[in-house]
Amino acid sequence: MERVFEFAVNHYILVSLFVAFLLAILVLESRRGGAKISAQGAVNLINRDEAVVVDIRDRKDFNEGRITGAINIPLNSIKSRASELKKFKDKQIIVADKMGQHSAMAVKQLKAEGYTNVVRLNGGIADWKGSNLPLVKK
């Protein structure tokens, strides 16, 4: 461990650049996909009828279990089917995927289509299940 400190002292410019790049990557990644909402925060909005959930998983995963009232628009067709959400423009749109990895792309595409009130479900459906929240099966 003392060799790490010795390296840091001897190469302080290199270590400073590494820390700066690391911080820059963390900041950019946290802002990349827009705002996140927790599963409990999503439940509160859904129960007050202030939000609609857009599930971007494929039809097979969607049919295995979905959030009540969710609309299924797969990620690869979100741009062409974005007009289906026009009636929900005044509500919060919550984008959910399997594990929260691809929802940032969907949020970005929806914002490009003019939807401003769009957030992603933090952790996706996996986090929803982990919180013991119900899923509807078809």
Alpha helices in 1-123 (DSSP H): 2-10, 12-32, 39-47, 59-64, 103-112
Asked if residue 43 is part of any domain, the answer here is yes
Q: What is the pTM of this model?
A: 0.78
Asked if residue 137 is part of any domain, the answer here is no
Say what the pLDDT of residue 138 is: 65
pLDDT digit string (tens) for 97-132? 999 888 988 998 998 888 989 999 999 999 999 999
- pLDDT exceeds 80 at position 11: yes
Considering the domain architecture, whether residues 26 and 38 belong to the same structural domain is answered as no
Considering the domain architecture, whether residues 15 and 45 belong to the same structural domain is answered as no
Asked if residue 85 is part of any domain, the answer here is yes
Cα(84)–Cα(29) distance, rounded to whole angstroms?
Answer: 29
Say what the pLDDT of residue 1 is: 78
Query: Domain containing 25: what range?
Result: 1-33
Asked if residue 39 is part of any domain, the answer here is yes
Asked if residue 25 is part of any domain, the answer here is yes
| CATH code of the domain covering residue 106 | 3.40.250.10
pLDDT digit string (tens) for 19-50? 999 999 888 877 766 788 999 999 999 998 88
Contact by Cβ (8 Å): 136, 63:
no
- pLDDT exceeds 90 at position 54: yes
Considering the domain architecture, whether residues 16 and 70 belong to the same structural domain is answered as no
Cα(35)–Cα(68) distance, rounded to whole angstroms?
Answer: 22
Considering the domain architecture, whether residues 18 and 83 belong to the same structural domain is answered as no
Q: Which residues on neighbouring strands pair with residue 37, listed in sequence order?
A: 121
pLDDT digit string (tens) for 55-92? 999 999 999 999 999 999 999 999 899 889 999 888 99
Considering the domain architecture, whether residues 26 and 94 belong to the same structural domain is answered as no
- pLDDT exceeds 80 at position 94: yes
Asked if residue 100 is part of any domain, the answer here is yes
Considering the domain architecture, whether residues 79 and 116 belong to the same structural domain is answered as yes
Considering the domain architecture, whether residues 21 and 84 belong to the same structural domain is answered as no
